[in-house]
Chain A
Amino acid sequence: MYSQSDSKIRTARPNKGGAGIKPLIMAASLAMTIGGWGILAVGQAGNALAAGQQALSATNSTSQNNTRSVSSTSSLSQSTASISRPNAVARTRSSR
């Protein structure tokens, strides 16, 4: 049975992607996390995560699943900024 609560509803607006203050917030949060815990844990790794981790200068790794240790917050800043919106290779729209 259809109900509006089951579907996702919003108003048409452009999907602009991330920019500006977000990378700074992400870097600050990660810096606090690393200072307190010393380990960055990651969940289901996708391609963007793999691309981001190339920018990390990890010096210690553990044998636990999906965990990495990170030594440099500046590298983290680079990694979060490098996970960017992919460019579309095609566009679906009504025929023209």
Chain B
Amino acid sequence: MQRLDFRAMGCQMLALLDSGDAEASETLSQVPVWFEEWEATLSRFRESSELTALNRSNGKWVCVGDTLWQVIREALHAAGDSHGLVTPAVLDQLERAGYDRTFELLDRSMQSTDWTSNRSVPDWRAIETDASEHRVRLPEGMHLDLGGIAKGWAAQQAAQRLGLFAPALVDAGGDIAISATRANGERWAIAVADPFRAEADLELLMMAEGGVATSGRDYRRWQHNGKWQHHIIDPRTGSPAVTDVLSATILAPMTTAAEVAAKAALILGSREGLEWVERRDELAGLLVLEDGRIVHSRRLEDYLWREPSALPDPMLVSWGRNV
């Protein structure tokens, strides 16, 4: 197994390639280059990014490159799937909440955010796209943040490229994409981190392929007038979501879908969020609540590692599907 750790998009990244082949190794070394290219296009924090240029277009049609086109299309698809709960049109609200610079530069104890003048989130359906020429038009006053989809998209892209050589896993700050089962036919073992305790894990997932993502308010948060705020905007209020969910971990066939579902479940809260996941056959999930309780969907059982049964039945012993 070849491994590459690096930082990009303000997060810790990991790429694994289940091969000792030299050509595969050369390709693995390119992963940070790919992430830099994507970040240069998609980051709202970079003056020269295509996204920043689009956000300054004041209602005009703008031709965009393939990367921005793909991610905007994914973001619009996500907004549709989530009935607007996960929308890219939240940049103004994020900045009003204080998240107007990279998280590393954020003053976690800021006092100056004015909550009384939060504007409602613009309707994402007003974004126009022209597939024939890859053009996008944002209504005047609308600005996009792609942080809710970009890491999952990037992890997927990287895993797909690496997967041409060998089974691959790409972890983009906790949003993980897996191209195929490992070379020995086994599933990949993915830990679910405990948001209450650094370095502790809640569960071990066994995944053959697809994506898993975690959305949480346990880390990217800061104080405003003595109250903790976080980066997941509820578009229904224009403010950080008020929810009993501390973190949501979702498995899906695609990492972008997992990322969107994790945010939606967090915004909805444990009861509606779990119902939302259960209604979608392609999803499985686990929610950690702020009071320490953990709830998970029925389908998550298919992915949880469990020890083999200690007491064998002489007629039939079920070792479970996860081992």
Point out the residues of chain A lying under 8 angstroms from B311, CB to CB: 25-26, 29
Residue tally, chain A, CB below 8 Å to B: 48
Inter-chain contact total with CB atoms closer than 8 Å: 182
B interface secondary structure, majority: mixed
Tell me, yes or no, whether A11 is within 8 Å of chain B by CB. yes
Q: Are A12 and B204 interface neighbours, CB within 8 A?
A: no
Q: A6-B278, A94-B216 are in contact. Are A29 and B310 (CB under 8 A)?
A: yes
Which partner residue on chain A sits nearest B298 by CB separation?
A6
Tell me, yes or no, whether A7 is within 8 Å of chain B by CB. yes
Q: Which of B11, B217, B294, B308 is in CB contact (< 8 Å) with A9?
A: B294
In the complex, 13 of the A-B residue pairs with CB atoms within 8 angstroms, ordered by the A residue number, are: A8-B300, A12-B196, A29-B311, A44-B320, A49-B308, A88-B201, A89-B190, A90-B169, A91-B191, A93-B192, A94-B214, A94-B218, A96-B12
Q: A44-B318, A90-B16 are in contact. Are A12 and B293 (CB under 8 A)?
A: yes
Counting chain B residues whose Cβ lies within 8 A of the other chain, the interface size class is: 35 or more
Select the stretch in B30-38, B54-62, B172-180 that faces chain A: B172-180
Within 63-84 of A, Cβ neighbours of B (below 8 Å) are at 66, 80, 83
Select the stretch in B90-98, B115-123, B181-189 that faces chain A: B181-189
Within 249-281 of B, Cβ neighbours of A (below 8 Å) are at 249, 271-272, 274-275, 278
Point out the residues of chain B lying under 8 angstroms from A17, CB to CB: 307
Within 203-234 of B, Cβ neighbours of A (below 8 Å) are at 203-206, 212-220
A interface secondary structure, majority: loop
- Among B204, B205, B271, B319, find the residue whose CB has the most chain A CB atoms closer than 10 A: B319
Point out the residues of chain A lying under 8 angstroms from B176, CB to CB: 90, 92
Other A-B pairs beyond A46-B323, A89-B1, A91-B191, 11, CB < 8 Å: A7-B278, A8-B301, A12-B294, A14-B201, A17-B307, A29-B311, A45-B319, A46-B321, A90-B169, A92-B174, A96-B12
